[in-house]
Amino acid sequence: MADLMNSMNDDINLMSPTTTTPSASAALNSSNCHHQLKVEKEREMFLEKLRKKKEEDKKKYDSIMSELSNLTLDEKKLDKEFQEELAKQRKSKESNATSLSGLEEFKKYYAKIEHYKVAFKPKMDDAAFSKAWFIKKKGIKRTISQLTSNHEFIFTKYKEIYALLMNIKQESNDAFEVTLNYLSKEILRQVEVDVSNKPYCAYIFARFTYMICSSIPEFTDYLLGRLYKRCPYIVPQFHDDDPTLSKKEMQKRLRYTYSDKQEKVGETFLLHAERNKGFIMFYVALCSTIPDPGHPQNPFSIKSVWIYLARLLNMSLRPISPFLVGGVLNIAGKGLLDNYPNQAPKLFRLLQDTVLPLMLAERTNDSNSAIISVGNFLSTYFEKGVAEIISETPPESQNIVKKNFY
């Protein structure tokens, strides 16, 4: 498109008034005419290519929508909220780059962050307030980094942080809000660092986090507002429906970061995809964690995972889609079966028969391993009836050879 615009600009420059001889003018007019025809032909080719791409996307979308409709028609006990979510997605199918209902959720959560920026963040400009707060919040970062897979240890650390937060709240509500914001950022920072390399950490951070959200409900908006902001794929929102956006602008909206901040080296697609898969795994674990006896109840529900998949599968596949789907299955595949024993097998069949072939048809070197992961999960389920998910405890051995599903 940029080349086409440059060609059109060149054409305009050529047609600007100049002083020429009659023969030179005739030659110039002939050249201009030829160039205009070339530009028009390039434009027609571009529009035809765009039209074909839209037709292909519509066929893929209609195929998945048909399968998803069949998946739910005969389910009398299908959750009402999930039915409503599917209806919303069908009505908004023209917005193929953004889930409109997911975007509304994000706006609701992020309103807390916007309020924080106006009402509480300026407090940090006060030297006395800032100094006192830095002393009070001491230990939060260290506590999060020390979490292990032991449930009782997580519970102990949760109680320590909860007590700290309540003490801060008694002294200053402003400091309390600042600390909640800080805690949400620290949890997500640790998720970003650890989960993509050590997937089992998703369970650890999720268990600790749901307890905080359960006992301090206002923390939830801080957490999810920042999580949706850092990982727009949770909406899901792909930002690829605006042809005026440059690649750099699109990557900025998708929250690409640097693989080397000092050298300003941007992260590759693969690093970006794995990092965001980590966020998805954390979110899914947050919604599917089962509390131990005597521990706080989880305010989140696996229903949110089910709805997220509905949103994701109602949109055209992107290169990152296998990473997102795999992140869900690797953490909540078993939970989906346990909670949706009638619908989940049909959803898995949809993935196996319709979605996976589309992934394979468009796979790249970067997405190949993610597609294999999705395929391995599905083939194991249909061959053995088992949903193999990532273990909650660190693996005893890293020398595990997995088969390819094809």
d(CA 111, CA 296): 26
CATH for 99-302, options being 1.20.1730.10, 3.30.470.20, 3.30.360.30, 1.25.40.510:
1.25.40.510
Candidate from 83-87, 167-171, 212-216, 247-251 with smallest mean pLDDT: 83-87
Confidence class for position 108, pLDDT limits 50, 70, 90: very high
Whole-number average pLDDT of the chain: 85
Higher pLDDT, 252 or 50: 252
Which spans in 243-367 are helix H? 247-253, 269-288, 303-313, 321-339, 343-350, 356-361
pLDDT of residue 265: 87
Confidence class for position 83, pLDDT limits 50, 70, 90: low
Contact at 8 Å (CB) between 302 and 213? no
The answer to whether residue 94 scores a pLDDT higher than 60 is no
Domain spans of the chain, in order of start: 99-302
DSSP 248-268: HHHHHHTT--EEETTTTEEPP
* Residue pLDDT, tens place only, 267-314: 999 999 999 999 999 999 999 999 999 999 999 999 999 999 999 999
Q: Residue for token digits 């595949």?
A: 333
pLDDT of residue 31: 59
Higher pLDDT, 390 or 18: 390
10 Å Cβ neighbour count for 92?
A: 16
What is the pLDDT averaged over residues 189-214? 98
pLDDT of residue 264: 82
d(CA 326, CA 58): 24
The answer to whether residue 368 scores a pLDDT higher than 70 is yes
Confidence class for position 50, pLDDT limits 50, 70, 90: low
* Residue pLDDT, tens place only, 326-348: 999 999 999 999 999 999 999 99
Q: What residues have CB less than 8 Å from 303, skipping those under 6 apart?
A: 79, 81, 82, 287, 339
